[in-house]
Amino acid sequence: MERADLIPSNAVTPASDGQRRQFLTYLARLAPGSRETMAGCLATICRGDPWAFRWQDLRREHTLVIRGWLVERYAPATAAKHLAALRGVLRESWRSGLMDGDAFARAVDLPPVKGNSARAGRALEARELAALVEHVSSDGVRGARDGALLALLYGAGLRVAEAVGLELDQVAPDLRSLTVRGKGSKLRTVWHTRGADRLLARWLSVRGAAQGPVLCRVRHERVELLPLGTQAVLERCAYLARKCALAPFTPHDLRRSFASDLIDAGADLSAVQQLLGHSKVTTTQQYDRRGERAKAAAAQRVSL
């Protein structure tokens, strides 16, 4: 399927500054950590510069073909994510007066993407977490900082963007809870798992009490009060996996492990949902990575 099959010819004409605002407004509504991802989805759809594309010129015959093109090439969850981005930017086109209500309603009236994808990510086992804690506990200043990273990603189940954006004044004096600003700028209180407060306390004793980001850079065993970026967190997780001889894991895998272990320990699903900052409990259920062990244990609860 070629580009000409996906989009109307007039949509290739560069958009004016006023028309570009629909894309900017759409991105502004998203959480900071989602903007790059959804902009990439729209770039894939238009196969060009999403800033210059005239999204308001798309009609239902175009969006139906786009949907078919995505379904042919991507897993269901990935195709659905691209369509969510498309619906979002079209909604801003309508809100901006660039697209009439009837054209918008027809363009976004698309059949849902059906099918199941293999769920991404994994949950770390207890022995893996123990190996990580043992390593960071003996690795100097950088290890103290990485211990705080584990405390936030696993011990509190934070998203990467939430962890790197956490400021010192958002940490409770007793270090047992955090006030986190999540998606949509929603505030929530998150409580640590046992032991996470010790890792956090060790790092803060090294970092000092100056206001600023909790997770800072470490250069030559010296603390620099500059925020740790998302890419740096990804690199630290890759480094820790190598040093501890573990299978690769991502920052989000630590968040999944937090949720999965809480569910395994019998925590109320609604409480886990609130800790993670999910708007829907079905999203929380997808974080359960207990797998066959959980199903086997459930089966043993009943006897014949």
Q: Is the Cβ–Cβ distance between 53 and 13 less than 8 Å?
A: no
Residue 13 has pLDDT above 80, yes or no: no
Q: Compute CA distances 170 → 167, 175, 188, 279, 290, whole Å.
A: 5, 10, 11, 22, 31
**The pLDDT of residue 194:** 83
pLDDT in tens, 37-85: 899 999 999 888 888 888 999 999 999 999 999 999 988 888 999 999 9
Q: How far apart are CA 237 and CA 149, in angstroms?
A: 9
Catalytic residue, chosen from 159, 192, 202, 236, is 159
Q: Is the Cβ–Cβ distance between 74 and 112 less than 8 Å?
A: no
Q: Check if 252 is active-site.
A: yes
What fold, for 126-290?
A: hpI Integrase; Chain A (1.10.443)
Q: How far apart are CA 47 and CA 132, in angstroms?
A: 42
pLDDT in tens, 261-298: 888 888 888 889 988 988 888 888 877 766 656 666 66
The mean predicted confidence, pLDDT, of the chain is 86
**The pLDDT of residue 116:** 62
For the chain, what percent of residues have pLDDT higher than 70? 87
What fold, for 3-107?
A: DNA polymerase; domain 1 (1.10.150)
Catalytic residue, chosen from 82, 91, 202, 278, is 278
Q: Check if 188 is active-site.
A: no
Q: Is the Cβ–Cβ distance between 276 and 284 less than 8 Å?
A: yes
**The pLDDT of residue 303:** 66
Q: Check if 278 is active-site.
A: yes
Q: Check if 62 is active-site.
A: no
Catalytic residue, chosen from 183, 188, 198, 217, is 183
Residue 11 has pLDDT above 60, yes or no: no
Q: Check if 287 is active-site.
A: yes
Catalytic residue, chosen from 54, 236, 255, 289, is 255
Q: What is the DSSP string of 107-169?
A: HT--PPPP--PPPP-----HHHHHHHHHHHTTSHHHHHHHHHHHHHHTSS---HHHHHT-BGG
pLDDT in tens, 168-216: 999 998 888 899 988 777 889 898 888 899 999 999 999 999 999 999 9
pLDDT in tens, 107-116: 999 998 887 6
Does this model's pTM top 0.75? My answer is no
Q: Check if 186 is active-site.
A: no
Phi, psi of 191, rounded to the nearest 5 degrees: -105, 140
**The pLDDT of residue 118:** 55
The predicted model gives 89-103 an average pLDDT of: 92
Q: Is the Cβ–Cβ distance between 129 and 192 less than 8 Å?
A: no
Q: Which residues pair with 222 in a beta bridge?
A: 219
Domain range summary for the chain, segments of one domain joined by +: 3-107, 126-290
Catalytic residue, chosen from 21, 87, 252, 290, is 252
Residue 235 has pLDDT above 60, yes or no: yes
**The pLDDT of residue 8:** 54
